[in-house]
Every structure is written in structure tokens, then in C-alpha cells.
Structure 1
Amino acid sequence: MSDTKLRIPPEVADRLLQLLATDDAFRELFKGDRHAALVQAGLDADPSRLRETSGLPCLVVDRLASKSDIAAAREALKAHLMSDASHTNPHAFEAGAMHAVLRTG
């Protein structure tokens, strides 16, 4: 993996959002290790290599949005993850901030 921006394939974004909207164990994994969570969601990468090269600032959150909020905004979140804005506007999954991020992204 190079130092270029990480691109999350659409199928991985779909799986990530499905798991964040439905799976409590996955949500705990995401909060503790978003790199490992992305790999579990299907990203073909070594979590330790992801940590070294990308940092994934777009996925850093202090308080993860609720499952229902993520489910309700799933299509908008997927579009955001697929856009260049996702790499310059962090906290797409932050509770209470998700809709503001999606409006400006």
C-alpha cells in the first residue's frame, strides 16, 4: 500500500455500513480498531499496514452514531465514503455530527 489516499471499494463501504447499522460486536471493534474493522468488512489490506500508511482520519470518532442513524443515512454515507471529501472532512460517523458532515461533503 502506498502513501496515497485509501480508497474504500463500494462493496466494502456497503458491508461497513451494514455492520455499523446492525452489529454491536462490530461497532465495538470499529471503536477500538477501525483498521481491523475495515479488514473485517472486506478491505483487502493488512490492518497494521493500514495504520502505518493512512491513519484513516475520515473514520475517527469520539462517539459513534447510533445504529438507526447510520441505517437512515446509509446511502448518503456510502456516497460520502466514495467521494474525495471523505478524506478531507473527518468524523462521518460521529454521533450528532453525521448530518452536518454529509451536507457539507
Structure 2
Amino acid sequence: MALPALEIGVARRLVDLLSTDDGFRAAFTANPGEALLAVGFDPQRQPAEWETLRVCFAVRALASKEVIAAARHEINLMLTSGLGQLVPALDAGLGGVHVLKQPASDPKAQAA
């Protein structure tokens, strides 16, 4: 699953308010979807992204304003580039023995 990218202006407003405005921070924590609308996210232009973002942005507690401000550049990059999240299937083959396969050795390299 990939986190959809936000438009640059929306991401900047979001990070700016999360790093400065206590009222917005409370609103974001209570309802991330409404907070996204408040900073200019247009769900009609990006309906699939809307459903993903309003759920993925749910938080129990935000980092402090100072921490968010210090990481502003990195957060903006993450929010505007989209993030891929691939979860490895580490439990594949339950019930069997897991063996890491070693790369085949090159017979020419062994002769040298």
C-alpha cells in the first residue's frame, strides 16, 4: 500500500499549522479528514486518496510543535512524494522449516 502524495500547498499548510496552531492540532487529532479539508485538500479531485489519507492520518498523540517544526522539510518531502509500504510476508510457509537460500556460487570464482 502506498500513502498518496499531497499537493505541495496542502502539505505545507498542514505542516505549518501542526507546528504552530494548538486549535488546529486538536482538530487534526480529533478528525484528520476534516483537518485535511481545512488546509485545502480536494476530495473530489482525489477520491481514492481521500479515503486512504483520512484514515492513515489518524493519530492518538501528535509530536510537539517544536519537533514538527524542526522536521518540517522532511515531513513535507514525505507528504508530497508518496510513500510505499510493502510488508514482507515473513510468515509464509507456516508449519514448515524456513531456510534462507544462499546465492549459487560461481564455479569460475572458486577456481581462481
Give the TM-score normalised by the residue count of structure 1. 0.65
Shift of 1:55: 5.1
Shift of 1:57: 4.7
Q: Indicate the SS of the match to 1:22.
A: coil
Structure 1 unaligned residues grouped into runs of 5+: 90-105
Encode CA deviations 1:30-69: one digit per residue, 9 max, x unaligned: 00000000110111227xx78x832545423221000000
CA distance in 2, matches of 1:71, 1:81: 15
Greater Cα shift, 6-15 or 19-28: 6-15
Larger relative contact order (CA 8 Å, sep ≥ 6):
2
Question: What letter corresponds to residue 19 of structure 1 in structure 2?
Answer: L
Equivalence for 1:43: 41
- Give the fraction of aligned pairs with identical amino acids, expressed as a percent: 35
Question: What letter corresponds to residue 72 of structure 1 in structure 2?
Answer: A
Contact map agreement 1:30 1:36 (CA 8 A) in 2: yes
Encode CA deviations 1:59-100: one digit per residue, 9 max, x unaligned: 232210000000000000000112232x639xxxxxxxxxxx
Encode CA deviations 1:4-44: one digit per residue, 9 max, x unaligned: 96431000000000000001110000000000001101112
Structure 2 unaligned residues grouped into runs of 5+: 87-112
Greater Cα shift, 23-32 or 60-69: 60-69
How many equivalent pairs are there? Answer: 83
Of 9, 16, 19, the residue aligned with 1:18 is: 16
Of 81, 85, 90, the residue aligned with 1:88 is: 85
Question: What letter corresponds to residue 88 of structure 1 in structure 2?
Answer: Q
Alignment of 1:1-105 (within 5 A): 6-45=4-43, 53-54=51-52, 56-85=54-83, 88=85
